[in-house]
């Protein structure tokens, strides 16, 4: 029997019940929103296992304060909230939930592409505000997706799911930038691999599908935004800091590009944040994976990973295999 904590209410209550059914003593924080850092510190006292939200900061400070914490099961595929090196150095195992949310995130990415390219939110605001004075030949002109080019930065599970939707469903042409060539997908979807700057210069829509790491932080900066086509759309469903936010604000203020953003440097966006005033951006509150089925599957997978670690078995989604040592 181990003592574990689930740091926020899971979308499927049966998932956490499985931890109890396995005989563990479980502290369930009954709030769907994340805990503040000091509360997280309190919650983890005396706990061997933590089922963490992707915004819970698990750093050297927390790990040093809680040497009893051995297992962190992250609810989410992104794990930039965990200092994985610090965890590895302390022998703490970390898992994530890849795969089960790819289709939901891809759906949301396409929703943002459509909203920004066809100016859906601007149209809604104009209509409600009484600013629609009748049919007009040049009202809210946008991008015709069919025949336009999408540039996918990152072609992992989520990038591939987005490519399938936009290429097969909407008749877009596809470029991708990625660490490795994907010849099968190139053949299946007619994609072409390109360097980032070529991709930016040739795409009408650019979508981001990368983890946040020291290499990807600020990857899309002022130079990259300037390389984008006039009137192009940038969609970020990955992590905010992959895009240099001040540079993005400049590009959006100029109206050179439009954006669909689900993730930000600081979440939630503070009141008065300059993005809130820009018509050229469509904003959603980090909900790309928020399909009911996907969120339940994320909960089930996070619980499964935690149960496997607690049982001394190697979990299926271990982020830091270096920390794994076969139990004696």
Per DSSP (E only), the strands in 195-265 are 205-208, 233-236, 258-261
Count Cβ neighbours within 10 Å for each residue of 3-24 and write b for 16 or more, e otherwise: ebbbbbebbbeebbebbeebeb
Catalytic residue among 47, 79, 165, 239: 239
Q: Is 286 a catalytic residue?
A: yes
Q: How far is the CB of 305 from ligand DGY (least distance, A)?
A: 13
Catalytic residue among 157, 165, 286, 304: 286
Q: Is 128 a catalytic residue?
A: no
| Residue 88: Cβ within 10 Å count | 17
Contact residues for ligand DGY, defined by CB under 6 A:
54, 76-78, 101, 289
User: With respect to ligand DGY, which residue has the nearer C-beta, 11 or 142?
Assistant: 11
User: With respect to ligand DGY, which residue has the nearer C-beta, 5 or 302?
Assistant: 302
Catalytic residue among 25, 198, 250, 267: 267
Per DSSP (E only), the strands in the chain are 3-6, 25-28, 49-52, 71-74, 93-95, 149-153, 173-177, 192-193, 205-208, 233-236, 258-261, 281-283
Q: How far is the CB of 10 from ligand DGY (least distance, A)?
A: 12
Q: Is 188 a catalytic residue?
A: no
User: With respect to ligand DGY, which residue has the nearer C-beta, 28 or 299?
Assistant: 299
Q: How far is the CB of 299 from ligand DGY (least distance, A)?
A: 11
Q: How far is the CB of 211 from ligand DGY (least distance, A)?
A: 8
User: With respect to ligand DGY, which residue has the nearer C-beta, 47 or 295?
Assistant: 295
Cα–Cα distance list, 50 to 3, 29, 93, 95, 297 (Å): 9, 11, 11, 11, 18
> Could you give the residue numbers annotated as active site?
239, 267, 286
């Amino acid at each position: 029997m181990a003592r574990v904590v689930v740091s926020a209410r899971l979308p499927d209550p049966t998932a956490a019940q499985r931890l109890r059914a396995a005989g563990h003593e479980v502290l369930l924080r009954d709030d769907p929103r994340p805990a503040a850092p000091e509360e997280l510190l309190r919650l983890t006292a005396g706990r061997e296992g933590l089922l963490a939200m992707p915004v819970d900061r698990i750093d050297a400070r927390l790990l040093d304060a809680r040497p009893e914490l051995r297992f962190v099961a992250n609810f989410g595929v992104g794990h930039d909230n965990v200092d994985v090196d610090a965890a590895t150095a302390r022998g703490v195992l970390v898992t994530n939930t890849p795969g089960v949310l790819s289709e939901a995130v891809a759906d949301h990415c396409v929703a943002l592409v459509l909203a920004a390219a066809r100016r859906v939110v601007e149209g809604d605001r104009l209509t409600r505000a009484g600013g629609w004075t009748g049919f007009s030949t040049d009202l809210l002109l946008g991008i015709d997706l069919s025949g336009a080019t999408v540039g996918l930065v990152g072609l992992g599970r989520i990038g591939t799911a987005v490519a399938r939707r936009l290429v097969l469903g909407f008749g877009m042409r596809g470029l991708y930038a990625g660490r490795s060539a994907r010849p099968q997908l190139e053949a299946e979807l007619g994609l072409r691999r390109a360097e980032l700057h070529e991709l930016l210069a040739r795409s009408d829509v650019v979508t981001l599908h990368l983890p946040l790491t020291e290499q990807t932080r600020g990857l899309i900066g002022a130079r990259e935004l300037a390389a984008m086509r006039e009137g192009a759309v940038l969609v970020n469903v990955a992590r905010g800091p992959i895009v240099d936010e001040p540079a993005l604000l400049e590009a959006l203020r100029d109206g050179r590009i439009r954006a669909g953003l689900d993730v930000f440097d600081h979440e939630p966006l503070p009141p008065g944040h300059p993005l809130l005033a820009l018509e050229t951006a469509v904003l959603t509150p980090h909900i790309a994976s928020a399909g009911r089925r996907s969120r339940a599957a994320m909960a089930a997978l996070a619980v499964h990973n935690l149960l496997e670690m607690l049982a001394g078995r190697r979990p299926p989604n271990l982020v830091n295999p270096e920390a794994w040592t076969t139990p004696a």
